[in-house]
Structure 1
Amino acid sequence: MSRARRIADACARNGGPLLPHLTTHLTTRDAARDLDRIRRALGEDKISAWGVSYGTYVGTVYATMFPHRTDRIVLDSNNDPDPRRVARGWAANYAVGVEDRFPDFAAWAAARHPEYGLGADAAAVREAFLRLAADLDRHPIPWPGALPPELAGKELRDIMLGALYSDANFARLAGLMRAARAGGPLPAPPRLDEAAIQHTGAVAGATICNDVAWPRSIERHRRDVRANRAAHPLTAGMPVNIGPCSFWHQPAEPPTRVTSKGPSNILLIQNLRDPATPYSGALKLLRAFGDRARMVTVDSGGHGVYLANGNACGDRAVTAFLAGGAAENLTCPAE
């Protein structure tokens, strides 16, 4: 809680002349308005867009605010558009997405049990992760060069979440778990891009704080964390813990409610096992758009689909939509 308050206070203290814009004009609705200004600057009557992850919400809001100025909209790795929660719901959904996706890592690690020693089957790998995270909660391991300079349970869960974005990261997570279970030494920590961190905190953070009101009750957060930890032990309540938005200003305008009003020119593409934007949230967006949208569902894991995970079926469907405008609901098998 104290860290979350410090971040919010630092933004307010150091915002200077930009602060009024940070608190009133840094929203997804304003991003949609900016996108429409780009359309006008290009001299186009309509605009096409491809949004990924948070970008799907920008595309969603644009298509809702300016439906007849849209040509072909591709939304890749989709967020639940619930206007009562917006980014609060996206954060909570990490717990769902991790539960969807972790079995892929667990099966991968089990197949390499002689190398990593994490368990001979997926259930054993899951138990190894949960036990290791709990041990690190009680007894962190020094990790020189890391920020913070130790590996605690929270850091392991953070790294696990990032590793689940792509199969290419599985070996890094398994190697870290192997080293931590042995008590060290740990592999070199990930390199931090300070500029990227500042961007995330100052820009992305302010946007999600401004899009919707966040609960300010500390006791409510405690209850939410307890319930979330019990339901989703892999993330242990982390996705619903208190953050800077609980100490931020109230939104200047209400969130966007997505409806079916507008042309049928939106294509969603979604992995079945996305750790960050789970399939269940994409289904809610599809229902909100009604007949405006179709969805390509890909039997794959990870975050990001089109041109990202090597699924030729999904790539062909999106490319055909962008080139010709036709789209149908489609399920693509694993490749």
Structure 2
Amino acid sequence: MRTLALFGAVGALMLASPAAVTPARALDAPPAETHGTLLAARRAATEGIRFGACAAEEKLPASVTCGTVRVPLDYADPDGTRIGLTVSRVEAAGPAADRQGALVYNPGGPGASSLHFPLVAGLPAWKRISAAYDLVGYAPRGVGRSAPVSCQDPADRATGPTPAPTHPSEVFKRERIARAKTYAQGCATRTGAALRHYHSLNNARDLEVLRAALGETRLTYMGASYGTYFGALYATLFPHRVRRMVFDAPVNPAPRQIWYVNNLDQAPAFERRWADFRAWAAKHHAVYGLGTTAQEVQESYEKVRAELAVRAAGGKVGPGQLHAALLQVAYHDGYWTRRATALSRYLKGDPKPLIAQAAPPKETSPDDGNGRAVYTAVECNDAPWPEDFAVWDRDNTRLAKLAPFETWDNAWMNLPCAYWKAPRQKPLDVRTGPGVLPPVLILAAERDAATPYEGALELQRRLSGSALVTERDAGTHGIGGGANACVNGHLERYLLTGAVPGGTPVRRASCAPHPEPDPVSLERRAELPSAV
């Protein structure tokens, strides 16, 4: 899910039932892993983290320090192989007497790192929070230098133009099946026996060890997108260790959603958000010239796709690269002006902005593909997936008739899970009863594409006493510390005081949407670095 973005409307389409996902090879977590986590946390509390200068490859300023926390590769064998997770920190800027501990952040993925998170200390929206908290980021297992997962030689990654059919042919499907099988085999071959240990339950256990290593009695945590899922797993597994938790852009944690159904549920949400972008571009036809209606903007987009299928821009940007770049408008409206400008310029004969925004990088590095590898390993390991392509074909063909923008792109991203070699985990039933957790704060944009809003409602139902703040009529994926002062007020108040909005039994509050992006003229935009 490209978050993982996970995951309504699919239920109405009857695209996937639990029976469609075979439970073969699903594993129940043995009690040994609970005992192993306890032992690992005790060890980490004794060892702590020795912070010092960050490695040059992290590209962090001297104001940020780094260290390593060692966690078991296999929590059933805590005295066996241990792996190092890279941790970054900026200490609280306020008086020592006002310090509230460490705030640990995860941005999601799976496969993303938060090593740069401490840099938010310099942003106005985080000023009071960074005065009270040490801001802590880290690279989860498999990510970056944290025992990295690899599935593919960087040299084998596509660097030239690729197609992206909305309704793929049988020949194209067979080609993608072959690619998925090769990729899944690459994960098994390049990562080896360790592959089975990269999953969300272990990410939650790692979080518990990190808490202990930081010297915190209880955890203060903020997770975005996929980070909300294993944060919710943590809250279920270790509720007595929770101090405060923020879940921003939450994944639907219901076990039957993980991860196949959640990925299907993304498609209708992406379609809505793509429509939002086209409506905005049409409203600013005088600036971009893409059309006065959403349909006309769609036609402009299709015209660009068709031309790129015949002749790739700069020899590198084909329909696939175009589509990948345009998918970003569904995640954050900060992309809207740049993508609209790129489409507009291309149609006027200038492909440079599109090439700058959409072309693959010129050079490969050993880290290329690491994010996708971790994403694939975690999603495939976390739960059963359909192992017959006929199920994928049925569900995505039906879905693409109503929501073509993202459907098949997402299917190809996840298809290696149909041919996965490692054992599957059994998704944990995320759920806490009254009084088990302190109040936690959920933040959600009503039109989020990557993690549809139903996921926020489901998470609130499952975490008793939790509070939900909704940004109405907005769709940016991840809203905490962003452009909405109302949302930021709730976030700051909660982290500084523990107070949540709304009364019992249902704690909810709403914020008006942040302003839409303000377009600028093409002439002015040509003078701005952000034009590309």
Q: Name the TM tier (shorter chain).
A: 0.7 to 0.9
The answer for the alignment partner of 2:458 in structure 1 is 284
Shift of the 60–140 alpha-carbon distance from structure 1 to 2, 3 Å rule, reads farther
Cα deviation for residue 116 of structure 1 reads: 2.6
Give the number of aligned pairs: 323
Encode CA deviations 1:154-196: one digit per residue, 9 max, x unaligned. 4433222112222221123223433565687463244547566
The answer for the alignment partner of 2:318 in structure 1 is 151
Of 271, 287, 292, which residue of structure 2 is paired with 1:99? 271
Indicate the SS of the match to 1:229. Answer: helix
Q: Is the 8 A contact 2:244 2:438 kept in 1?
A: no
Q: Is the 8 A contact 1:298 1:332 kept in 2?
A: yes
Q: 2:296 matched to 1:124?
A: yes
Cα distance in 2 between the residues matched to 1:276 and 1:214: 20
Q: 2:486 matched to 1:313?
A: yes
Cα distance in 1 between the residues matched to 2:365 and 2:267: 26
Of 264, 270, 286, which residue of structure 1 is paired with 2:444? 270
Comparing both chains, which one has the higher relative contact order based on Cα–Cα distances under 8 Å and sequence gaps of 6 or more?
Answer: 1
Q: Which amino acid aligns with 1:62?
A: Y
Encode CA deviations 1:21-76: one digit per residue, 9 max, x unaligned. 212x1111101111111222233331110001111112111111111111111000
Cα distance in 1 between the residues matched to 2:325 and 2:385: 26
Of 201, 218, 223, which residue of structure 1 is paired with 2:372? 201
The answer for the alignment partner of 1:8 in structure 2 is 184
1:1-335 residue pairs with structure 2 within 5 A?
1-15=177-191, 19-23=192-196, 25-129=197-301, 131-132=302-303, 135=306, 139-144=309-314, 149-152=316-319, 154-178=320-344, 185=351, 187-190=354-357, 192=361, 197-241=368-412, 243-261=415-433, 262-289=436-463, 291-299=464-472, 300-308=474-482, 310-328=483-501, 329-335=508-514
Cα deviation for residue 220 of structure 1 reads: 1.3
Cα distance in 1 between the residues matched to 2:310 and 2:447: 30
Q: Is the 8 A contact 1:54 1:79 kept in 2?
A: yes
Cα deviation for residue 93 of structure 1 reads: 3.0
Q: Is the 8 A contact 1:77 1:270 kept in 2?
A: yes
Indicate the SS of the match to 1:81. Answer: coil
Indicate the SS of the match to 2:265. Answer: helix
Q: Which amino acid aligns with 1:55?
A: G
Cα deviation for residue 315 of structure 1 reads: 0.4
Shift of the 196–231 alpha-carbon distance from structure 1 to 2, 3 Å rule, reads farther
Q: Which amino acid aligns with 2:332?
A: S
Cα distance in 2 between the residues matched to 1:312 and 1:133: 37
Cα deviation for residue 222 of structure 1 reads: 1.2
Cα distance in 2 between the residues matched to 1:132 and 1:76: 37
| Range with greater deviation from structure 2 (294-303 or 180-189) | 180-189
Q: Is the 8 A contact 1:101 1:301 kept in 2?
A: yes
Cα deviation for residue 108 of structure 1 reads: 2.2
The answer for the alignment partner of 2:128 in structure 1 is none
Cα deviation for residue 333 of structure 1 reads: 0.7
Indicate the SS of the match to 1:296. Answer: strand
Cα distance in 2 between the residues matched to 1:220 and 1:111: 40
Indicate the SS of the match to 1:142. Answer: coil
Indicate the SS of the match to 2:292. Answer: coil
Cα distance in 2 between the residues matched to 1:67 and 1:36: 11
Identity %: 32
* CA RMSD, Structure 1 to Structure 2 (Å): 2.5
Consecutive unaligned residues of structure 1, counting only runs of 5 or more, are none
Q: Which amino acid aligns with 2:355?
A: A
Shift of the 92–30 alpha-carbon distance from structure 1 to 2, 3 Å rule, reads same
Cα distance in 2 between the residues matched to 1:116 and 1:134: 17
Q: Which amino acid aligns with 1:122?
A: A
Structure-1-length-normalised TM-score: 0.87
Shift of the 38–235 alpha-carbon distance from structure 1 to 2, 3 Å rule, reads closer
Q: Is the 8 A contact 1:228 1:240 kept in 2?
A: no
Consecutive unaligned residues of structure 2, counting only runs of 5 or more, are 1-176, 502-507, 515-532
Shift of the 122–252 alpha-carbon distance from structure 1 to 2, 3 Å rule, reads closer
Cα distance in 1 between the residues matched to 2:310 and 2:465: 50
Q: Which amino acid aligns with 1:164?
A: A
Cα distance in 2 between the residues matched to 1:132 and 1:4: 30
Cα distance in 2 between the residues matched to 1:164 and 1:195: 29
Cα deviation for residue 140 of structure 1 reads: 4.4
Q: Is the 8 A contact 2:266 2:450 kept in 1?
A: yes
Cα distance in 2 between the residues matched to 1:209 and 1:224: 18
Cα deviation for residue 115 of structure 1 reads: 3.4
Cα deviation for residue 100 of structure 1 reads: 2.9
Q: Is the 8 A contact 1:99 1:232 kept in 2?
A: yes
Encode CA deviations 1:273-304: one digit per residue, 9 max, x unaligned. 21211212222222222x23111001222111
Indicate the SS of the match to 2:314. Answer: coil
| Range with greater deviation from structure 2 (296-305 or 99-108) | 99-108
Indicate the SS of the match to 2:327. Answer: helix
Q: Is the 8 A contact 1:277 1:303 kept in 2?
A: yes
Structure-2-length-normalised TM-score: 0.56
Q: Which amino acid aligns with 2:250?
A: N
